[in-house]
Amino acid sequence: MRERTTLKKTLKPHWVWAIALGSSIGWGAFVQPTNWMSQAGPLGVIIGFVIGALLMMLIAVSYGFLIKEYPVSGGEFAYAFISLGRTHAFISGWFLTLGYICIVALNASALALMFKYVFPSFVQNFKMYDIAGWDVYFTEVLIATIALLIFAYFNMRGTGLSGRMQFIFCLVMLLGVFILTTLVGTSPITSLNNVQPFFNPEVTTFAAIISIVAIAPWAYVGFDNVPQAAEEFNFSSKKAFGLIIFALIAAAALYSLMIIATAMTQPWLGLVDEGHIWGTGAAIKNVLGTTGLVILVTALCMGIFTGLNGFIISSSRLMFAMSRAKVLPAVFSKLHPKYKTPYAGIIFTSIIAMLAPWFGREVLLWVVDMSSIGVSIAYLYTCYTAYTLFQWSADRVKDPTIHVVAPFKKLLSLIGVVASLTFIGLLLIPGSPAFLGIESRIALVTWIVIGLVFYLFKRKEYNAIPEEELRYLILGEKGIQKKSERIS
């Protein structure tokens, strides 16, 4: 057997919860409310996000079981291998890698966008060019680059430091949202009447809600960072499911509070029509002044920081696992000599993300919209794998070492499969309210072609690894034990 590198067990439960919650929230909850309301109306957005959270919880049943059984880095990469083999493992890992790196890049650019709104005279200097109607300034590229360098450094110092920081960021973010909602709700110039009409009057209620449900994989992507860090738990992996559910509940509540706080400031249809570069920022500033804007900016910074931190952790661990399985270059599975972190993946993620601000935010949004497909594919593989391991009854169990009699969980995993396919359909079927734009579809095809070329290049080496050895490299001692039990 080849040597199998493993990671140190340093992550505490509340840090893992913060990784799930902070990664799920990111910048969107603070930047996108007016955009979402223009699609669905305030109540349509809230209902859509609640339904999305419930669907994610159904999918989380599969994640909780697989994390408990296979607490290894790689997450969905490993799960696809368990049920469908090495080719599907590569497909799952390839799409997830793109999705994670894109979200790191988008969070970095969101930080620059926030600076552009708060300090426009500072950021709007040294204009270089415009792409797709977006002016690209050297100053905003510099802001995003500095943020990525800082978080790359923190992550290389170890998961103990990055996990502790993530928890603190989450607490500050939650406190900021609670204070904002309270101040807006008690202001004499705001009213719940401003939330009306509850839905976008230009579309049907169903279409409004579905348009938000369709972005649930993007809105809640981050809870699936938990399996990427599973190898580093310093606690029982059985707790993972509860931590994911708690994070999803908190995320849905936070999204809803930000919608309510934004919509109460003034009639929301008028707010949407005003076309601010940052609608939520303008709305809060109009009601609470500079103090409110400072609180909002602080919460936004925490959301961005948790997104940067959480997805750098996940992307580097995913590349570490794929490299350990010999499908990515060996450098990605090497650990830092002092801090014992997968430093190559951290550096690679940060460098690729640094390229994104040079292409302008609109181009980046096209790629990120496309990455929702990758996340949905990962959900599909996870739920399908759990479905194959759960059994309806004892008489259908072919191998007691890997199959579990759990009819209700099998049903939930089946629902998760259907939900994942629905998300993919909403994004890819023409006429759907969430159908990807032409630019995002071009980006998707490009990434598929690159992946196909890369796989054909690595296929011979990857397929030459014996099945038992590959199980050991991906799943560890438990994987090799189950293989030997099946042989006996």
As a whole number of angstroms, the distance between CA 19 and CA 111 comes to 19
* Mode of pairing for the β-strands spanning 127-131 and 134-137: antiparallel
Confidence of residue 13 (pLDDT cuts 50, 70, 90): very high
Looking at residue 308, its pLDDT comes to 92
As a whole number of angstroms, the distance between CA 482 and CA 366 comes to 43
pTM for this one? 0.88
Question: Angle 356-358-364 (CA atoms, 0-180°, nearest 5)?
Answer: 40
φ, ψ dihedrals at 267, nearest 5°: -50, 120
Looking at residue 222, its pLDDT comes to 85
- pLDDT greater at residue 175 or residue 55: 175
Which of 88-92, 220-224, 437-441, 446-450 ranks highest by mean pLDDT?
Answer: 88-92
Task: List the single range of 47-51, 248-252, 260-264, 272-276 with lowest mean pLDDT.
Answer: 272-276
Q: How far apart are the first and last CA of the chain?
A: 19
Which of 382-386, 455-459, 475-479 ranks highest by mean pLDDT?
Answer: 382-386
What is the average pLDDT across 174-178?
95
Structure token pair of residue 6: 């493993």
pLDDT tens sequence across 17-76: 999 999 888 788 898 898 899 888 999 999 999 999 998 898 899 999 999 999 999 999
Looking at residue 483, its pLDDT comes to 43
Structure token pair of residue 226: 């938990």
As a whole number of angstroms, the distance between CA 94 and CA 96 comes to 6
As a whole number of angstroms, the distance between CA 424 and CA 385 comes to 18
| Residue 156 near residue 341, CB atoms below 8 Å | yes
What is the average pLDDT across 427-441?
82
pLDDT tens sequence across 89-123: 999 998 888 888 888 888 888 888 888 878 888 88
Which residues, other chains included, contact 480 with Cβ-Cβ below 8 Å and sequence gap of 6+? 1, 468, 471, 472
What's the alpha-carbon Rg for the chain, to the nearest Å? 22
What is the average pLDDT across 266-290?
85
Task: Say if residue 197 is preceded by a cis peptide, omega within 30 of 0.
Answer: yes
Task: List the single range of 37-41, 102-106, 273-277, 423-427 with lowest mean pLDDT.
Answer: 273-277
* Mode of pairing for the β-strands spanning 390-391 and 134-137: unpaired
Superfamily of structural domain 13-359? Amino acid/polyamine transporter I (1.20.1740.10)
Residue reference for tokens 């391991």: 389
